[in-house]
Structure formats: structure tokens, C-alpha cells
């Protein structure tokens, strides 16, 4: 469906732009808050509690933060809320376009759990809505008074959701649902808490009433959560490109481990903004990342290469150099496997009902294309094993073993 691809392209593009604006603004304000200095007395008299100077884009900027609020309401007040809302709206639209319109291709993996498209979509929505409601409810209980305990509960929630999602959906579909839940929690924090608090403050200033500092303080816990969730959600946004993560047999643990390390690294930057440089955090974070990489790339026991022994000829003369042909029996076997398992999608004119254009431009129309792309072909079928896509054509371990044997000769 080409129009769906175009829709997906524009919405994805917009989503990335909005996300950059949201997270960029959020990073900027965290930096700003942590970099404020004590202002001179004449500013203090105006109610300014911190100020700073910056130079950017060929100009000097002077920023001041008020302890409560300005004496009179400025004519224009910038809010920074649409960055968050538009990121979430476009993200949900993208989820629907990519994963719900083509649920059979992207969301359902029969080897994980076979289900109808409708069921998969209902489970997906339930996971996101359920997780967000649990979080929102917890924020309104006494748990909110114990930030450390709350953090543990939040981690537990994300672990459970990761586990459920990866046991229901395809690897990439699962990861994106965890991302959608995190994004929903983050935007709900802005919408249901940070914005109402700000609205109260603005109303008070406009009506010349005193500003109650507790309004802003209530939003603190949620801002801290949003802050620590930024790096994990950014990883999930790009995770689709890295099947070694979401295709791993323990993909839920891979996701949890990567999110944990990302939040830990965020901690380093938070402390650094406060003037505490703790290289041990950065180093342990880097070591953690390295250990995860080692763990997921550690060679797993290859599928036992049972019978299907094809005789291998040592002869390598290619008769027609203009259009190379498979030579050995093993070559022919591989060619036949590609015809059966890959050409439905990866051809000049795919016959697959979902993929009308060769995905990522990868075509295996003839032996020349197969040998030219042999490294990718081998990698995707025997190492990451995410091809055939969601194993739609049902490639067996024995067949993968044949490709592995062919790989050894390349
Ligand atoms: C049902 C359709 C389908 C079938 C069948 C299929 N693929 Fe794919 N293939 C895809 C899709 C979709 C992508 C893009 C995945 C993504 O978005 O990252 C892809 C991507 C690839 C890539 C990645 C290219 C790159 O640059 O990252 C390779 C290599 C590949 N497939 C090889 C194969 C091989 C080999 C087979 C047969 C064993 C096969 N595919 C069967 C749909 C399919």
C-alpha cells in the first residue's frame, strides 16, 4: 500500500521533529535550572532568584528565573507544551499506521503467540492504557511521598510490561509498545500535572495573587521521572534498526538492561549539572553497555546441522560471466531456498500482499544479486535470524544450517 508508506513517512518525519523539539527544550530547561547563579542585588529586589548569561548564534542572552512570579503578567508568555503533545499524537498515529494497519506483518509473530489482528491491537492498546493508568494512580497515592520507593515501583512496572509485550508480540512490536507506554506516561505528566500547576501559577500572577510554591513542587517527582525516561525512550525509537536487540531470545531482558544503563547514564549528566562530576557512573555505564553487547552477540549454539548433506564440488568455473549461475549443488540449494523464502518480498516485483516494494531495496532476483548481498543474507538468516521477516515463509533450522554451511565457503 504505497499511500500508507507515504503517510508513514510524513508522520514519522513529523514525529522526529516534534520529539527533537520536546526533548531538546526539556534538556535546555534542565540545564538552565541547574546552571543558574545568584543574581546581583538589584535583580533580587525584583524577585529574581537566579540568572545566567549565554552566547549563542551571534548574540548575548540574559535569562532570569523568578522565585515566585513577575509583578505583572508579560504580554507574551511561552509555554512549551505543544512539543510534548504533538510528539505523543504523532507517535500514536505512527503506531497505528505501522503496527495496527499491518498488524499481521509487523505486530504478530506466530512463533511468539498466534492471534488475530484484532486481538493483537486490543492487547496493544490495553498494555499502553493499563500501564499509564497504573502509573497515574500510583502518582496520586502516598507512594508519591517516597521517591526512591516509587522509582523501584516504576522500574518493576516497566519490567512487567516489557516481559508481557515480548511474550505477546513480535520483538520490534513489543519494544515499540514499551516505548509508547513510556511516551504516554511522560506526556500525561505534562498534561495532567505540570500544565495544571503552571496554569494556577499564571492565573495567580495575572490576578495579582501570591504564587504558592507547592504547586510547582508537586510537579517535581514527575519531572524527575520524565528526565530519567528520556534516554530509554530514545533508544526504543531507534531500536527497530537493531534486530540483534529485539530478536534476542531474552529480548525483554535486553530491553530492561539497556533502559537501566541509559537511565544510569542520564544520572551522570544530572549530577554533572549540579557540579558533581562522578566519572564512576559514566565508566560503570559504559562497562554495562559493553557487557550487554557481549552478552547479546555471544555466539549461540547454532541449529544442529542434521542431514541434508549436499555434495560440494570444488569446481568454480563460471561459464557465463555476464550472468553468473549457481555452480555447486550447495549453491543451487541456496538459490532454491531464496526463491522459496525471500523472493516473495525481496524481488523487483514482490508477490507478498503487504510488501509491494522490496523492503529496504534488498532484491534477490538472480544469483548475481544473491552473491553480491551474501553477507547480509547470511547475517539475517543465520545470525540475527530475523529473516524471512517474522519467519513468514516458515524457514526451518535445517534450512538455516544449509545457509550457514554455504556461508563457510564464501
Ligand atoms: C514477508 C516479507 C519478507 C520476506 C519473506 C523476507 N524479508 Fe527480508 N526484509 C523484509 C523487511 C520488511 C525488511 C526491512 C526490515 C526493517 O525495517 O528493518 C527486510 C530487510 C532485509 C534485509 C536488511 C537490509 C538492510 O540493509 O538492513 C536483508 C538482508 C533481508 N531482508 C534478507 C532477507 C532474506 C535473506 C530473506 C529470505 C531468507 C528475506 N529477507 C525474506 C521483509 C521480508
Cα-Cα-Cα-Cα dihedral sign, residues 221, 285, 265, 177: negative
pLDDT beyond 60 at 373: yes
pLDDT of 307:
41
pLDDT: is 332 or 243 the higher one? 332
Say yes or no to pLDDT of 274 above 80: no
The Å distance, Cα 363 to ligand 1 centre, comes to 9
Amino acid 220: pLDDT:
78
Whole-number Å distance between alpha carbons of 408 and 370: 15
Question: How many CB atoms neighbour CB 148 within 10 A?
Answer: 7
Ligand 1: residues within 6 Å at CB? Answer: 338, 341-342, 344-346, 352, 355, 359-360, 362, 376-377, 380-381, 387-389, 392-393, 395
377-389: per-residue pLDDT in tens? 998 999 889 899 9
Residue whose Cα lies nearest atom 15 of ligand 1: it is: 359
CA-closest residue to ligand 1 atom 29: 376
Name the band, by pLDDT with cuts 50, 70 and 90, for residue 247: confident
Q: For the range 207-216, what are the long-range contacts, defined as Cβ-Cβ under 8 Å and sequence gap of 24 or more?
A: 210/68, 211/68, 211/69, 213/68
Q: How confident is the model at residue 133 (pLDDT cuts 50, 70, 90)?
A: very high
Contact 182, 232 (CB under 8 A): yes
- pLDDT score of 199 more than 70: yes
Question: How confident is the prediction for the chain on average, in pLDDT?
Answer: 89
Return the residue matching grid coordinates 513480535. Answer: 170
Provide the grid cell at 52. Answer: 545566567
Spatial distance between the Cα atoms of 194 and 184, rounded to a whole number of angstroms: 14
Ranges 26-35, 85-94, 389-398: which has the least confidence: 26-35
Atom of ligand 1 nearest to the CA of 105: 1
* Residue pLDDT, tens place only, 153-192: 999 999 999 999 999 999 999 999 999 999 999 999 999 9
User: Burial level of 174, CB count in 10 A (0-12/13-18/19+)?
Assistant: buried
* pLDDT number for residue 52: 95
Alpha carbon distances (Å) from 39 to 9, 32, 44, 67, 210: 47, 14, 6, 12, 22
- How far is Cα 239 from Cα 53, in angstroms, rounded to an integer? 38
For residues 50-71, give the mean pLDDT: 92
Residue 285 has φ and ψ, to the nearest 5°, of -65, -45
CA distance 230 to 29: 14
Q: Is the pLDDT of residue 302 over 60?
A: no
Residue 2: the pLDDT is: 64
Q: How many Å lie between the centroid of ligand 1 and the Cα of residue 102?
A: 16
208-234 pLDDT per residue, tens:
888 777 777 667 788 889 989 999 999
Of 387, 391, 392, 390, the closest CA to residue 376 belongs to 387
- Residue of 106, 361, 362 to mutate, ligand 1, most atoms within 8 A of C-beta: 362
Predicted confidence at residue 248, as pLDDT, reads 87
Residues in Cβ contact with 356 at an 8 Å cutoff, skipping those fewer than 6 apart: 1, 2, 350
Among the listed residues 279, 273, 255, the one whose alpha carbon sits nearest the alpha carbon of residue 26: 273
Amino acid at each position: 500500500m504505497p499511500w500508507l508508506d507515504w503517510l508513514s513517512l510524513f508522520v514519522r518525519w513529523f514525529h522526529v521533529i516534534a520529539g527533537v523539539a520536546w526533548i531538546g527544550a526539556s534538556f535546555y530547561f534542565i540545564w538552565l535550572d541547574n546552571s543558574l547563579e545568584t543574581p546581583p542585588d538589584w535583580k533580587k529586589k525584583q524577585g529574581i532568584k537566579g540568572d545566567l548569561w549565554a552566547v549563542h548564534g551571534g548574540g548575548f542572552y540574559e535569562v532570569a528565573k523568578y522565585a515566585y512570579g513577575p509583578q505583572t503578567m508579560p504580554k507574551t508568555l511561552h509555554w512549551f507544551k505543544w512539543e510534548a503533545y504533538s510528539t505523543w499524537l504523532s507517535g500514536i498515529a505512527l503506531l497505528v499506521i505501522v503496527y495496527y494497519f499491518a498488524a499481521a506483518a509487523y505486530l504478530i509473530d506466530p512463533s511468539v503467540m498466534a492471534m488475530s489482528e484484532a486481538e493483537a491491537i486490543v492487547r496493544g492498546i490495553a498494555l499502553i492504557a493499563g500501564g499509564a493508568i497504573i502509573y497515574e494512580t500510583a502518582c496520586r497515592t502516598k507512594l508519591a511521598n517516597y521517591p526512591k520507593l516509587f522509582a523501584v515501583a516504576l522500574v518493576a512496572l516497566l519490567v512487567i510490561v516489557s516481559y508481557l509485550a515480548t511474550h505477546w508480540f513480535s520483538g520490534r512490536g513489543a519494544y515499540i509498545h514499551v516505548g509508547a507506554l513510556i511516551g504516554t506516561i511522560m506526556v500525561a505528566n505534562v498534561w495532567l500535572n505540570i500544565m495544571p500547576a503552571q496554569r494556577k501559577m499564571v492565573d495567580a500572577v495575572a490576578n495579582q495573587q501570591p504564587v504558592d510554591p507547592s504547586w510547582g513542587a508537586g510537579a517535581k517527582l514527575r519531572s524527575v521521572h520524565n528526565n530519567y525516561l528520556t534516554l530509554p525512550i530514545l533508544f526504543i525509537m531507534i531500536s527497530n534498526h537493531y534486530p540483534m536487540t529485539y530478536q534476542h531470545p531474552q529480548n525483554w531482558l535486553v530491553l530492561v538492561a539497556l533502559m537501566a544503563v541509559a537511565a544510569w547514564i542520564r544520572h551522570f549528566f544530572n549530577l554533572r549539572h549540579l557540579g558533581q562530576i562522578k566519572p564512576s557512573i559514566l565508566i560503570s555505564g559504559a562497562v554495562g553497555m559493553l557487557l550487554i553487547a557481549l552478552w547479546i552477540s555471544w555466539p549461540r549454539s547454532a541449529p544442529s546441522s542434521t542431514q541434508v548433506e549436499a555434495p560440494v564440488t570444488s569446481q568454480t568455473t563460471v561459464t557465463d560471466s555476464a550472468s553468473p549461475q549457481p555452480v555447486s549443488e550447495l549453491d543451487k540449494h541456496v538459490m532454491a531456498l531464496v526463491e522459496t523464502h525471500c523472493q516473495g518480498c525481496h524481488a523487483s516485483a514482490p508477490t507478498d500482499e503487504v510488501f509491494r516494494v522490496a523492503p529496504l531495496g534488498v532484491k534477490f532476483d538472480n544469483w548475481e544479486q544473491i552473491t553480491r548481498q551474501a553477507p547480509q543474507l547470511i547475517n539475517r538468516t543465520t545470525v540475527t535470524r530475523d529473516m524471512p521477516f517474522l519467519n513468514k515463509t516458515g524457514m526451518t533450522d535445517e534450512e538455516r544450517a544449509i545457509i550457514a554451511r554455504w556461508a563457510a565457503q564464501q
